[in-house]
Amino acid sequence: MTASREVSDVTDSLTADTVVLPPVVATTVPASLDARSVSAWFGSHQVLSRVSLTMPAGQVTALIGPSGCGKSTFLRTLNRMHELIPAARFGGEVLFEGEDIYDASWRLTDARRRIGMVFQKPNPFPAMSIYDNVVAGLRLTGTRASRREKDELVEESLSRAGLWKEVRDRLRQPGGALSGGQQQRLCIARALAVRPRVLLMDEPCSALDPTSTRRVEETIGELAGQVTVVIVTHNMQQAARVSQQCAFFLAEQGTPGGIVEAGATNDIFNTPQDGRTADYVAGRFG
Ligand SMILES: Nc1ncnc2c1ncn2[C@@H]1O[C@H](COP(=O)(O)OP(=O)(O)O)[C@@H](O)[C@H]1O
Ligand SMILES: [Mg+2]
């Protein structure tokens, strides 16, 4: 799936109803996520079976494991993006501060606004200005804001994404003119513009050079505490650097993916309980 396709998927899913921006104070209150017995299918193909994982508020949880084991699918169940894919099915519960986001009282836009997403490939709108790219985050979730609120939000979001100092003098230039790493931080700013309490990131550095990667990792470090982060990464060193919690996913021989082991990142890397985890973190497969 291409990055631009993902954005249009989000746009297409929007309903006409709009919501009012939450108060600024919400930016500093991260929320816990608790996945309970999550299963996922594409048609008859089950790709996750009864996955449970607690993602503590204000911490960075890394999802690691070989390609194809269901990490991205799991991430998409955490803000209901999974259900946008044709033939996708879901079972289980995802509790946001104890409330099931799949409950009938939750609208798709509620989930999308409270639980933001950043993708693998930086996908700013290239011809749109840096300013409008950040504000576009509001439109994607149907949030309304006044001109003054927008000005404040653009500065706040770019600052939180660690990009403000680099772009403050060229907010009207196109987002596509930025470097790859800056574009990814612009996408983080766009996601932060609705003041989500959780931020999901799917291999956000895999298209970036090492310097830009470090810069994004610093940004993740700065966001921790303000927002709960769940990050998929295939880079073990990155998981060790940025996360406090880690979950190792595996899908063995055509069976649906699941979590082999989860816990404090230090423990997963230094004293894994399962031999498969030990082999994976030591780079012996995957
Ligand atoms: N849109 C889709 N349609 C059908 N199958 C999919 C789709 N996306 C992923 N899958 C399948 O689901 C499984 C898990 O994929 P994914 O969640 O992308 O794994 P990971 O992120 O760990 O590499 C794979 O078998 C993949 O082929
Ligand atoms: Mg993936």
pLDDT tens for 252-285 read 988 999 999 999 999 999 999 999 999 999 998 8
Q: For the chain, give the percent of residues with pLDDT over 70.
A: 90
Query: For residues 56-76, b (16+ Cβ closer than 10 Å) or e, as one string?
Result: eebbbbbbbbeeebbbbbbbb
Q: Which ligand is nearest to the CA of 82?
A: 1
**Binding-site residues, ligand 1, Cβ < 6 A:** 42, 47, 67-73, 85
Q: Which ligand is nearest to the CA of 70?
A: 1
Q: Which residue puts its alpha carbon closest to atom 18 of ligand 1?
A: 72
Ligand 1 centroid to Cα of residue 47, in Å, is: 7
To test the pocket of ligand 1, the residue of 72, 90, 117, 259 to mutate (highest count of ligand atoms within 8 Å of its CB) is 72
- pLDDT value at 137 more than 90: no
Tell me the pLDDT tens digit for each residue of 48-92.
999 999 999 999 999 999 999 999 999 999 999 999 999 999 999
H helices present in 59-129, as ranges: 71-77, 108-114
Long-range CB contacts for residues 276-284, cutoff 8 Å, separation at least 24: 276/248, 276/250, 277/248, 280/64, 280/65, 280/66, 280/248, 280/250, 281/64, 281/236, 281/248, 283/236
The CA distance from 192 to 208, in Å, is: 20
Q: Which ligand is nearest to the CA of 247?
A: 1
Ligand 2 centroid to Cα of residue 151, in Å, is: 34
Largest CA distance in the chain: 56
Q: Decide if 242 contacts 62 (C-beta within 8 A).
A: yes
